[in-house]
Amino acid sequence: MVSRFGLSVALATPFDASGQIAILPMVTQARACLGAGCSSATLFGTTGEGASVGTAERRIVTEAMLAAGIPAHRLVAGVLVDAAEDAAEQARHALQCGVRNILLAPPSYFKNVGEDGLFGWFSAVFAALGPLARGILLYNIPSVTMVPLPLTLIGRLCAAFPGVIAGVKDSGGDWSYSEALLRAHGDMVILIGDERHLARSVRQGGQGAISGMANFVTGEIRAMAEDGRDDARVGSFVLELLRFSVIPAVKVMVARKTGDERWLTVRPPLEPIGSQGRQQVAAAYDRLFATEPA
């Protein structure tokens, strides 16, 4: 059995007035979440607007994290690109830095692709990485990519690339898929991205989570990811976040937690949430988390 993954915060990315990544508050947020009990911080995932962060910027941020004293084994790097060459380049630098895992999404520009095509794309990435290839977390998030990862594809990749695939992050929100994934591949790290299903998945053998909500309710998400403890407040707040564009809504909460309005900025094509929406998100949080867990 693999060692337990635990809770990784899907770190949001702050931008300054010129649109550049604000390194210091990002490092500070990573430290705060790790200090609050997260086992790692995931950089450049969906919550971190990873598809909008370029290769050169990734290098700068990763190296800044290391220079700030955050151990490489407590970092996960998201890779969310379409060209296998670009995916390998981004993963290569992170792996050379010693990160714990690579969170690798399938290519998403082409829709309705077959399993053989996806197998070929992942194979090309791993071939380009060569002996560096390790610790890959396949990322199932079809609501964003429109490219689901069939269980048979996961099995084929594991068989073809032994020791390369560490597990799967399932953010599909489909419990029947999650349950089948846990049954078929429970010997790997299975992480659930939809917090509404998190505690149940842990009780059925899941290894934890990569969670955007861990940016601002770290302790509550940790109890779900590590102990399988239900918290109705979390599920209710997920529904509140889904009333808005989720990434800007999460950043509203990080800005509120830190008192730093740079967190409100998102990169185009995303748009920030207006003042009325920000008030609604904050009011929902106060209403739910002013009470003890149900």
Per-residue pLDDT, 216 = 98
Predicted model pTM: 0.96
Contact, 172 vs 178, CB < 8 A? yes
Question: What would the two tokens of residue 222 be?
Answer: 């940790």
- Angle 218-227/232-241 helices, nearest 10 degrees? 120
Flag whether 106 is in a domain: yes
Per-residue pLDDT, 1 = 41
Q: Which residues are annotated as a binding site for pyruvate?
A: 47, 210
Flag whether 49 is in a domain: yes
Rounded mean pLDDT for each run of 10 residues along the chain, 294 residues in total? 83 96 98 98 98 98 98 98 98 98 98 97 98 98 96 98 98 96 96 96 97 98 97 97 97 97 97 97 96 66
Domain encompassing residue 99: 6-227
Flag whether 177 is in a domain: yes
Flag whether 275 is in a domain: no
Is the torsion defined by CA of 258, 261, 267, 271 positive or negative?
Answer: positive
Per-residue pLDDT, 197 = 97
Distances (CA, A) of 73 to 69, 132, 187, 255: 11, 15, 21, 27
Per-residue pLDDT, 294 = 58
Tell me, what CATH number does 214's domain have? 3.20.20.70
Catalytic residue IDs: 139, 169
Q: How far apart are the first and last CA of the chain?
A: 32
Flag whether 105 is in a domain: yes
Flag whether 253 is in a domain: no
Q: Which residues are annotated as a binding site?
A: 47, 210
110 in helix, strand or coil? coil
Flag whether 118 is in a domain: yes
Per-residue pLDDT, 290 = 85
Q: Domains in the chain: how many in total?
A: 1
Per-residue pLDDT, 3 = 64
Residue whose structure tokens are 């790097």: 77
Flag whether 251 is in a domain: no
Per-residue pLDDT, 74 = 98
Per-residue pLDDT, 191 = 98
